Structure 1
Amino acid sequence: MMHRDPNTLDLSQQKLCLASDLKFWPIHQRGELVYRIEIPKLHKFFRVGYEEYVLLSLLDGKTTLPQACGLAAAKLGKRAPTTSDATTIARWLIANELAHLPSVPSPSRTVKRSSDHGVLKSLGKWNPFWIKVPLAGSTLIIDRASRFMSALFCRAATLVGVLLIAAAMVVLASHWAEFSASSAALYLPGNWFGILVAWVVLKVVHEFAHAVACRRLGGEVYEAGMVFVLLAPLAYVDVSSCWRMNSRWARIAVASAGMYVELLIAAIAVFAWLAAPSDAARFLLFQVIVTAGVSTLLFNANVLMRFDGYFILADLIDVPNLAAEGSASVRRSLAWILTGKDSNQPTLGSWRQPFVLFYGIAAILWRVVVCTTLFMAASAMFSGAGIVIAMLGMGLWLGPPIKVIVDAIRRQLADGVFASLRPLLIGTGLLVAIGWLVIVCPVPTSIGAPAVVQFLPETVVRAQAAGFVRVIHVGDGENVKQGQVLLDLENHQLTNRLASMELTRQQNEIRLRQATEEHDSASEQLIRRNQISLDEQLMPLRRQVAALKVLAPRSGRVIAPMLSQRIGDYTEEGESMLIVAADTDKEIVAVIGQEVVEDSRSYLGQQIRILDAGGQSLRGRLERIEPRATDRLPSPAMAVTEGGSLAVRRADFGDNDAKEDVASMRLIEPAFRGRVSLHGKTAMEIPAGTRVTALLGYHAESLASRWKNRIRELWFQVQRAN
């Protein structure tokens, strides 16, 4: 059946008839009486005001549109729609197949209809960024699940659940350092399968919660299935029937049911995590907490996408079609900018109209960011095939709006070249300006390098010989003088070797005297050469044995909190034993990323700002930047597992330094170290080990370049972790 474009119909004397399968019911919205319209077979809902409803009730297929306007005016007076309003309403009814001409059959709800964008819409269903697959028999599964989950949504259970979630948040906050120590393992590819399984299972439970809540409050579930976002599976359910509910709080309850159940699971997992007997169980529960708690707040509570947070916000501000209203508000504003024509604004109240406009702009920007990120992620993750997938997805996403723009340009050109001059010039200027801002315009941002306050390298006392710690002569915080004995080490193998060589030297001296007395020149020369060789071997050996008595290289205060526990420990040669330093012997070591190191080098020798955790500003001098990047941490305190900001991984098992958890951590991506000197007074005020941020000037880069580099960095981190 052919359908004409409503905009091409002359409705001045036409008779309209409402579709026979429509359902109407009144509700109160923002203190006014409005009517909802439902097409039951399609599960579509619409809303009209009371005045529009009166006009619609007169469209019986026998009354022309002007006659209906007259009858409505007799009943409503000045509140009645004008002829122009009635024409707009009629075109809207026909476009949405809520009404039809008497000469045309009532719209069919079972046969898929073509449209001007039919090909694009059909292809759009297979956009790799968003593929929706309904599941057969899903309503039967939901019926069975409702029997078990319905009790979760009674008032008593909901109150207990909310209190449990609140208690879990308090407990998690008090154990945050311990909890965050597991985050480094999230970068390991071996753990991704478990995270994916937890994600899929929890999202299925999430959608079941929506369905059960909808059923409990009197709604119906028409469909359920899976949505694949860049091939990542997500579950979905169609609970559009909740729009039949007159209470907006009932609709909010349905929208928030999924997040409530996920947060409840996360809360239970928090308490189980505290009592878990093994590290494996604790990490499994950590995955559940992150997936059910953090991810559901970041994604499902996002009001800029049509997830749970969006529907909750729409009901809270009493704007049911918030996304559509926002898009329409943006289009009206754009049309006014381009053409200067002010279209009729909907009645949304004094504050709702600017709020909806702001929401529409934010939602469009968010969709652009998300789709651009998915585009770059697909290109990076799937190499050549990813580029094809990304191009296909972007084409299918941009196709419909581009066609709308092209059609709008055609209609504008039909009004004449002069009338089209302003929108074409302004539109082209806006596109060029947006492209320049995103692709070309450098955006300067401050370079903030994570850093830590440390004592100067020369203050570290290292073992000059290997051995066991036998005697400790000083304590932490004690003031010592240069040359004072700090520790006694014991190495029987070393001392026995020295004694043996000393004995050999003495024996060699005896043989040398005998050869001299006997005037045996040949033997004398041979023994002297042996004596020289022995002396060369004895010199470093004597230094090592002497180094078993560890002396203070300088005067200062001993800094070694765990020194008293080192009795009996074996110490390798070169290992750090303790620190002897004055309060001014400190510097700041910054970790500088590879992408900003060149910008940072321009500040060598200059004063820079340093911010501590409390926001207090200090000053320091950037002395040097190490010429080579390293993946070693300057201090364990900088790792995210210890409350810092640097993502880390475990070193390879073959790494000799991977003996302890802290020492086995490496940066995901190698970075450069910058050393910042401190003024004496500043060094005295700030404790060693304090995490700070070094502000190393500014880095200018376009937004597009930043997105591209960020995706590349993330993928590089994945490759490094693998």
Structure 2
Amino acid sequence: MARRNLNTLDFTQQPLCLAGDLRYWPIHQRGELVYRIEIPSLHRYFRVGYEEYLFLSLLDGQTTIPQACGLAAAKLGSRAPSAADAITICKWLLKNELACFSSDMQPSREPHRADGAATTEWSWLRRFNPFWIKVPLPKSNALMRSCSRLLNPVFSSAAILLGMALIAIAVCIVGLRWADFSASSAALFLPNNWIGLFVAWVGLKVVHEMAHAVACQRMGGEVSEAGIVFVLVAPLAYVDVSSCWRMNSRWSRIAVASAGMYVELVIAAAALVMWSLTESVAAKFILYQLVITAGLSTLVFNANILMRFDGYFILADLIDVPNLQSEASLSIRNLLSRMLTGKWTSDRSLGSWRRYFVFAYGVAALLWRVVVCVSLFIAASTMFAGAGIVIALAGMCIWLASPIKLIFGAMRTLLQAGLTQSIRPLVVSSGLLAAAAWLVFFCPIPTAISVPSVVDYLPETSLRSRTSGFIRMVHVVDGQTVNRGDRLLTIENRELVTQLEELELTWQQNEIRLRQATDMHDASQQQILRMNQASLTQQMQPLRTQVAALDVISPRTGRVVAPALAQRLGAYVAEGDALLTVASEADKQLIAVIGEDVVDEVRGWLGQAVTLRSPCFPELKGRLERIEPRATDRLPSAALAATAGGPLAVRPANDPSDVDSWRLLDPVFRGRIDLSPAASARLPAGLRLRTSFGFQSQSLFQRWSQTIGSLWYRAQKSVADSV
């Protein structure tokens, strides 16, 4: 059917005819009788009220619109649609291809338009969004029917009771072994494990969608389509179970919507039970990955009511508002219409509490959609070593194409209506756009600056070897209190001792020759021998210092801190290697890990008191003394690494022989915070804290720019490291 401009048509003279392939059936919604309309070939569903349905039933291709209005008024009285309402209904029918003029052909049913309205000049953009590419599988209906017959027993009453019991047992296990469960999460942050998590997640999503398909067919529906959708090149499975709208019971639709989450939670519960029973470290790690991907990710993503996932459809049926998103968008448009034009249109069919709930949901969903779009834009711009910025810009243009078209269309309509009627909308809309731009680009957003920190002993308390050799004797143990002058270790270096003995022997021989030359009054020989004597003395001095250092003596009174000291017996140490720490409880400091994005603000706190927070201790104070001038990717303490339960993500060092086996993903600056004697005595070494440095006041645009820059740097660095 050729497209027409609906605003230029004369509906009073041209009768309409409903499409011949439509299906209708009545349902009760919120205590009212309504009718659903289905286009079977496109799997699209619509809902109309009883009054609208009665008006539609009169459109037989021979009755004109005024005649249909008169017949409807005779049956409905004051509840009948007005002439203006009838025109609006007819435009809606034509736009959604539910009807056509009697002189035109029946609407065509093109498969690629199954998920939207009639084709427009902008619809091709939606089909080529690089953020969301859908690829249907051929003959998916037969495949889904075969799988449903095999998996139908999964949703039997006995299987559901068993699954719920398994989930309850898993919840009890998590509560009883929470410390072990939370400690196992550290390994998930390792970059080498991301591939395993991704593969498990993709596999579980296939199972998730299969559960929807099985539940839908068990409830009497059918799966019209199945396939793969690529979200930022990541493959995900999907199934079209829109036939659920044929089910009159909303509880049946809720069962279908929750089937995928239920199956994933059962898998997570079974994995958690096995995790608690097995002793194998490898098996525990694999099972823990399965628990997180099947349990936590399901609750975070699929149960999210702000996106059109399972949680959204469950909520829509629970509050009995099937078209929740459309109603929410309409409520926001009504508010904007009132702000721009002063006219207020309110839908009383929702009732009092639903109307306010739907509006609040619409605002929350809009904000969430903005957050998701920005997050996808940031993620896409750092893909392919930064070349993903092209994908990000293409996706952003496609997202903004329709809103921009609507805005310009509305402005054109306002200007055509006359200058006096367009003054208020233009002024209000310009003010709103200016306010939005100010909020994004210029408005400072105070955010607390809090960085991870760790308690460590002062650098001067660490004893380093002043010579090289093998540790032959250990005279102390970890935690032992020693006094100044006590022997701690004995290092053996026979080559060094032999070299010193040879020099001493040579010195003694030179001393004898010097005496002989003195007795013979040989002045020239005396001068040569004295020069040799001075040279030998100069050579022996550092050797004597190194030989004396073979006995490691405590320089102060304190406690020995060396957890693996006994294991170093017989190990080789080079000059400058750390041996152990001898410190008192007052010899501690706090090392703060300061990111590049906040280091400029933190520098303003040099010499000032800062706040230290820990869940184990009350709030404490310290003083920021210095910040290292250069950033580093070396860990200040292993306690801060994610592998040890800390907050910092790490990666393996490029050089396997490196003493520090882990590196930070992003370079950081180290800050030294002095502690009071009382705080130093209370805080144990290795304790993780958060250090607060007031607030930062950057705008949203500045923070997004810093985030993209940081991710870009990380992508470039990973490419450089791989090369």
Aligned-residue offset at 1:687: 2.4
Secondary structure (helix, strand or coil) at the match of 1:592 reads strand
Aligned-partner Cα distance in 2 for 1:33–1:363: 29
Cα distance change of structure 1 residues 182 and 220 upon mapping to structure 2, 3 Å threshold: same
Offset from partner CA, 1:300-334 (integer Å, 9 cap, x none): 33322222222222222222111111111111111
Q: How many residues align?
A: 714
Q: Aligned partner of 2:36: which letter?
A: R
Aligned-residue offset at 1:99: 3.6
Question: 2:25 is matched with which residue?
Answer: 25
CA contact (8 A) 1:451 1:590 kept: yes
Question: 1:672 is matched with which residue?
Answer: 669
How do 1:32-71 and structure 2 match up within 5 A?
A: 32-61=32-61
Secondary structure (helix, strand or coil) at the match of 2:489 reads strand
The match for 2:708 among 697, 706, 711 is: 711
Question: 2:217 is matched with which residue?
Answer: 215
Aligned-residue offset at 1:599: 1.5
How do 1:613-628 and structure 2 match up within 5 A?
A: 613=615, 616-628=618-630
Cα distance change of structure 1 residues 300 and 530 upon mapping to structure 2, 3 Å threshold: farther
Once the two structures are overlaid, the 10-residue window that deviates more, 197-206 or 449-458, is 197-206
Cα distance change of structure 1 residues 111 and 720 upon mapping to structure 2, 3 Å threshold: closer
Offset from partner CA, 1:150-206 (integer Å, 9 cap, x none): 2322233233334445555645844345523323432x5xx6655554444333332
Cα distance change of structure 1 residues 267 and 713 upon mapping to structure 2, 3 Å threshold: farther
Question: 2:319 is matched with which residue?
Answer: 317
CA contact (8 A) 2:96 2:118 kept: no
2:445 is the alignment partner of 1:443: yes
Aligned-partner Cα distance in 1 for 2:86–2:204: 49
Aligned-residue offset at 1:564: 5.2
2:144 is the alignment partner of 1:147: no
Q: Which runs of 5+ in 2 are unaligned?
A: none
The match for 1:350 among 333, 338, 352 is: 352
Secondary structure (helix, strand or coil) at the match of 1:645 reads coil
CA contact (8 A) 1:182 1:286 kept: no
2:692 is the alignment partner of 1:695: yes
Offset from partner CA, 1:325-345 (integer Å, 9 cap, x none): 111111111111111101132
2:180 is the alignment partner of 1:175: yes
How do 1:239-278 and structure 2 match up within 5 A?
A: 239-270=241-272
Aligned-residue offset at 1:568: 4.4
Question: 2:577 is matched with which residue?
Answer: 575
Q: Aligned partner of 1:229: which letter?
A: V
Aligned-partner Cα distance in 2 for 1:387–1:635: 36
Aligned-partner Cα distance in 2 for 1:331–1:612: 47
Aligned-partner Cα distance in 2 for 1:231–1:57: 47
Cα distance change of structure 1 residues 223 and 421 upon mapping to structure 2, 3 Å threshold: same
CA contact (8 A) 2:187 2:642 kept: no
Offset from partner CA, 1:245-275 (integer Å, 9 cap, x none): 2232322222222333334444455566678
Aligned-partner Cα distance in 1 for 2:182–2:424: 60
Question: 2:427 is matched with which residue?
Answer: 425
Cα distance change of structure 1 residues 381 and 211 upon mapping to structure 2, 3 Å threshold: same
The match for 2:406 among 400, 404, 407 is: 404
Aligned-partner Cα distance in 1 for 2:212–2:117: 33
Once the two structures are overlaid, the 10-residue window that deviates more, 217-226 or 278-287, is 278-287
Once the two structures are overlaid, the 10-residue window that deviates more, 501-510 or 455-464, is 501-510
- Taking structure 1 as the reference length, the TM-score comes to 0.89
Offset from partner CA, 1:36-75 (integer Å, 9 cap, x none): 2222111111223344444444544565556655665666
Once the two structures are overlaid, the 10-residue window that deviates more, 241-250 or 166-175, is 166-175
How do 1:141-540 and structure 2 match up within 5 A?
A: 141-165=143-167, 167-168=169-170, 170=173, 173-176=178-181, 178-186=183-191, 188=192, 194-270=196-272, 288-382=290-384, 386-540=388-542
Once the two structures are overlaid, the 10-residue window that deviates more, 424-433 or 482-491, is 482-491
Q: Aligned partner of 2:681: which letter?
A: M
Cα distance change of structure 1 residues 111 and 680 upon mapping to structure 2, 3 Å threshold: closer
Q: Aligned partner of 1:674: which letter?
A: G
What CA RMSD, in Å, does the superposition of the two structures yield over aligned residues? 3.2
Aligned-partner Cα distance in 2 for 1:278–1:538: 57
Aligned-partner Cα distance in 1 for 2:395–2:577: 56
Cα distance change of structure 1 residues 530 and 282 upon mapping to structure 2, 3 Å threshold: farther
Aligned-residue offset at 1:235: 1.9
Q: Aligned partner of 1:185: which letter?
A: L
Q: Aligned partner of 1:555: which letter?
A: T
Aligned-partner Cα distance in 1 for 2:357–2:515: 105
Offset from partner CA, 1:537-583 (integer Å, 9 cap, x none): 32222222322332222223333444455544444433333333332
Q: Aligned partner of 1:134: which letter?
A: P
Aligned-partner Cα distance in 1 for 2:504–2:149: 89
Aligned-partner Cα distance in 2 for 1:179–1:444: 34
Offset from partner CA, 1:442-486 (integer Å, 9 cap, x none): 323222111111222222233333444444444444443322333
Secondary structure (helix, strand or coil) at the match of 1:351 reads helix
Aligned-partner Cα distance in 2 for 1:177–1:510: 75
Question: 1:660 is matched with which residue?
Answer: none
CA contact (8 A) 2:212 2:241 kept: yes
CA contact (8 A) 2:14 2:102 kept: no
Aligned-partner Cα distance in 1 for 2:214–2:469: 68
Offset from partner CA, 1:584-632 (integer Å, 9 cap, x none): 2222110111122122111111111122135842211111101111111
CA contact (8 A) 2:213 2:223 kept: yes
Aligned-residue offset at 1:414: 2.1
Aligned-partner Cα distance in 1 for 2:111–2:375: 37
Cα distance change of structure 1 residues 362 and 580 upon mapping to structure 2, 3 Å threshold: same
Aligned-partner Cα distance in 2 for 1:674–1:613: 22
Q: Which runs of 5+ in 1 are unaligned?
A: 658-662
Aligned-partner Cα distance in 2 for 1:269–1:711: 37
Cα distance change of structure 1 residues 524 and 111 upon mapping to structure 2, 3 Å threshold: closer
CA contact (8 A) 1:300 1:307 kept: yes
CA contact (8 A) 2:42 2:111 kept: no
Aligned-residue offset at 1:15: 5.2
Q: Aligned partner of 2:185: which letter?
A: S
Aligned-partner Cα distance in 2 for 1:521–1:284: 85
- Taking structure 2 as the reference length, the TM-score comes to 0.89
CA contact (8 A) 2:385 2:715 kept: no
CA contact (8 A) 1:455 1:688 kept: yes
Aligned-partner Cα distance in 1 for 2:422–2:587: 72
